[in-house]
Chain A
Amino acid sequence: MTAYLIRRLLASILILLGVSVLIFAMIHLVPGDPVAIMLHEVKSGPGAIEEMRRNLGLDRPLPEQYLFWLMGNDYVRVDTDGDEVPDSYGTRRGILRGDFGRSIFKRAQVIDIIADRFPATLKLTVAAMLLALPVGILAGIIAAIRRETIHDYLTMLGALVGVSIPPFWLGLMLMYVFGVELRWVRPFVGDRGFITLILPTITLAAPTVAIIARLTRSSMLNVLGEDYVRTARAKGVREAWVLTAHVLRNAFIPVLTILGLQFGYLLGGAVIVETVFVFPGLGREVVTAIINRDFPLVQGVTLFSATIFVLINFGVDMLYTAVDPRIRYA
C-alpha cells in the first residue's frame, strides 16, 4: 500500500508538472496581451504598452518566463534601485517555493485570491453534492425498483429535463420566481448565509441529480438481475435489506466513479451559477482572468484546480477499497 501511495504521489507530481507546462503554453500562445487589454481603456500613446510589458517581464522569451514562474527569478533579478524590496511586483520566488506571483490586474497575491475565493466555490459544490447525492440515488432506486411504471417514466423524464436544462436559465427562473415575484428567498444574490445558498445549490445540483439518478437506475437494474440477488431473495432476506446491502452496495461503484468526476465538474460548472447569483467564487474569477489574459492568475488558479482534480481522483480510488473489499492496491 505504501509503495502504491508513493507511486501515485510521484505520478501526480509529474502530471501537475505537465499541466503547468500546458497551462503556461496555452494562455501565452493564444493571441492577446494583458497590457494591451489594460491600456486600451485609457489613452496611452505608443511606448506605454512596450514600457509596461518590459516592466512586467512579458518581453522575455517564453521558456524564460516559464522558468521564472516555476522557480522564481529572485536569484537572477538585479535590484536596480537598491531599496531591496523583496515583495516587489516583478520579483517571484516561483510556484515550487509556494509563490504564485501577483495578478496583473488585481495586484494581489494569486494565492490570496485563491484562498479568498475557493471557500465559496467549495461551499457551493459541497452543498450541491450533498443535495444531489441523496436525491439522485433515491430517484434512481425508485426508478429501478418500479421499472417501467409511471414512477420510472416520471423520474427519468425529470432526469432528462435536469440534464438538458441550461443552468443560467434555470438559475434566472428560480431567481425571478422565488426571489423577485414570490419573495420567498431574500436576499437572492451574494454569499450572505444559508438563504443565499439555496437557489444556487439547486441550480448547480440539477444536472448532477439527473446524472446520478440515471446511473443509479441502470446500475441497480444490472445488479438486480444477478444470481446473488435471487439467492438472497430465495433465502427469505427482507426486500429492504436485499436492496440496501446487496443491490445498492454493488450498484454504487460506477456511481462512485462518476461522483469523483462530477465533483470536479461541479467545481468548474459553478462558473455560470456564480455569475448568475453573484456568488464570490473562484469560477467567475478565472473567467475574467482568462478574458484579461491575467497570466499569473490564470496559471495559478488552473494549476490549483488541476491539483484538486488529481486529489479527488486519488480519494475516489481509495474509496473503492472501502466500498468493495475485493479491490486492493499494492
Chain B
Amino acid sequence: MRSRTRFVLLLSTLLLLFVGVVGAQEPMSGGSLSVVFSSEWGVLDPAANTNTFGRNIMQFIYDPLLRKHPTTGAIGPGLAESFSFSDDGTVITLNLRQGVTFHDGTPFNAEAVRFSFERISDPELASPWAAAIVGPVETIDTPDDYTVVMTLKEPFAPYLDSLTQIGLAPVSPAAVMEHGADYGLNPVGTGPFRFVSTMPDEEVVMARNEDYNWAPDYYDHQGPAYLEELVALHVGEDSTRMALVETFEVDVIYSPLASQLPFFQDDPDFYVPTAARTGVPRILVLNTELFPFDDAATRRAVAWAVDRQRILDEVFGGIGAVPQAILTPGLFGYWTEGMDQWPGYDPEMAASLLAEAGWGDADGDGILDRDGQAFSITYGISPGFPFDQYGQIVVNDLTQLGIEITVETEEIGAYLADMRAGKWELSGMLFPATDPDVFNIIAHSSSIDAAWNTARFNNAEVDGLIEEGRRTLDLEARAAIYHRIQEIMLDQMPYIPFYVIENAFVVNSRVQNFRTNAQGFFDFYDTWLSDA
C-alpha cells in the first residue's frame, strides 16, 4: 500500500513536471488577462495624455515610431523600420514599415505620421506633448508613402528618445476625422491589442489584434499576441486591490502594499516580479537660493546624513536600490566611475563636514549656527505614501545633526506649485525619464520656475553642457557630457538622491512570460496563460 502511494506520488510529480516543461515551451493562445492599476489613467488619446498608467495602457493599443530595448535601452525600429540623421544633425529620415494597418483598416503611412504630428501641434488640441514637436521641429515632409523627413530647427539628440514615446505614436487619421474631440473615447492605433470598450478611468477592454505582424524583434514571438483579451481596471484602495488578486478575481496588480509582499512571495499561487524605473531617483531637493543651502559645502555635508539603506528597507520593503548617482543605473549616460565617490550614510562625516563649513553650536541651544544664524529649515512634503514615511527618517537624520526642521505638509497640487516656486529650503521629488536630457528640466537655469529645476540650481557650466548634450549626436561624446554633468552635480549637490524606484507587481502564477518594458511597465505581448 505504502509503495503504491509512493508510486502514485512519483508518477503525479513526474506528470506535473512534464506538464510544466511542455507548458513552458509551448505558449498557449487565448484567454483573458486582467490587470489592475492603482489610480486613474486619463484619456486613451496619446496626444492628450501624459499619465504613466495611461501611457502603459496605450502601449497595448498603439505602437511608437521607434522602440527602446527593454533591457539595454538601445533605440531601435518600431513603426519606423529604420532612421537616420543627416550629418549636421538637423534632418531625421524615417523609413516606415509597410503593410501596417490601423485597427479600423486605415493604412499606416507617411501621411498618418504627418497627420498625427500636426494634430499634436494644433493649439486647439492643447496637447501636453505640443512643445515636444513644436519646439524642435521646423517642417515634416513626406516625399513618398513610406518616408517621413523631419527637419529640425537645430540638431537635437533627445529627439530620437521622443520618438520612442507613446505620446507621439501615430493615430488613425480616419478615426480622428470621424470622432473629432471624442477621439479619446474611440482610440484607434496599430498596436497588438485593439480597443473594444471603456468606462473611462474604470475599465478598458481590449481584444487581440489578429492582423498584428509588426512586433519589434526583441520579442520572443511574431504575429498576433497570445492573449485574446486584455482588461485594465482601476482600483484605488490598496486593500481592495490585494483582496482582488488574492481571490483570483484579477491576474496582475500594480503597486501592492510593501508590507504584504512577503505574504505573496511565499504563496505558490503568485509571484512578485519587480522592474526598475529609469530617470532621476527619488531626490531631496535643496533650495540653492535660500540660506543655508545656498552654500555647496553645507549641501555636500548634509548628503552624508541621510540613511538611504534604512529608507529602502523600511519604507520600500527592500524593493529598489540605494542610488549612487543623480541618474538611475541603466539610463544612457550613467556615470559608473562616480559611483564610489557618491556620499553614503555616515553621520560623523556629515558632522565633521558641517564643522568644516563653519557650522557650530555657539549659543549652546543644541541647534547648529553659523555667524549667528541658526541652521533652521522648512521641509515641504505632501501627505501619504511615501512622503510621510521617508520624511520621518530624513527629519530624524537631520535633527540628529543639530538641524532644526519644520515640516510643512501640502496636498500634491499645491505642493508641486510651491516646490516649483522655491517656497521651502528642503523638499522631495522624482523624475522618471528615458534620456539624460532630463537634466535640462531639473538642472538648467531656464527651468527654474518654468519647469522642474526646483533646487533653483544655476551653474553656467552645467547650462552649457546640457545644451551641448542636446546638440551632440555621437553617442560616446554625448555620454561624456553627461558624465561631466554628474561630476558637477556630485560636487554641487543641489539634489540628494536617496531611492532608486523599482515597481513591484503581484502576478497570478497562471500568467506566463510576464514582461516589463524599458519604462518599467507591463508588456503583455509575449504573455500567455497556462490555463488558456
Contacts and interface: CB of A to CB of B under 8 A. Distances in A.
A53 to B, nearest CB: 9
A55 B126 contact: yes
B180 A50 contact: no
Contacts of B437: 43
B199 A116 contact: yes
A81 B118 CA distance: 12
A43 B413 contact: no
A225 B370 CA distance: 76
Given A33-B413, A106-B43, A48 B452 contact: no
Interface stretch (B131-139, B214-222, B254-262): B131-139
Contact of A43 (B45, B48, B125, B441): B441
A95 B180 CA distance: 21
A212 interface: no
A33 B416 CA distance: 9
Contact of B246 (A46, A50, A80, A180): A180
Given A46-B451, A80-B123, A179-B247, A107 B45 contact: yes
Nearest to A40: B416
A277 B520 CA distance: 28
Contact of A276 (B237, B246, B435): B237
Contacts of B31: none
B474 interface: no
B52 interface: yes
A292 B413 contact: yes
A43 B246 CA distance: 36
A305 B134 CA distance: 40
A163 B244 CA distance: 28
B450 interface: yes
A88 B451 contact: no
B243 A175 contact: yes
A31 B260 CA distance: 35
A265 interface: no
A80 B123 CA distance: 9
A50 to B, nearest CB: 7
A36 B419 CA distance: 11
Interface stretch (B66-74, B181-189, B392-400): B181-189
B417 to A, nearest CB: 4
Contacts of B413: 30-33, 37, 291-293
A51 interface: yes
Contact of A48 (B131, B182, B185, B239): B131
Contact of A291 (B134, B246, B412): B412
B476 interface: no
A280 B39 CA distance: 13
Interface of B: 39-40, 42-43, 45, 48-52, 122-128, 130-132, 134-135, 165, 167, 180-182, 184-185, 199-202, 233-237, 239-240, 243-244, 246-247, 249, 279, 410-414, 416-418, 420, 431-433, 435, 437-438, 440-441, 444, 446-447, 450-452
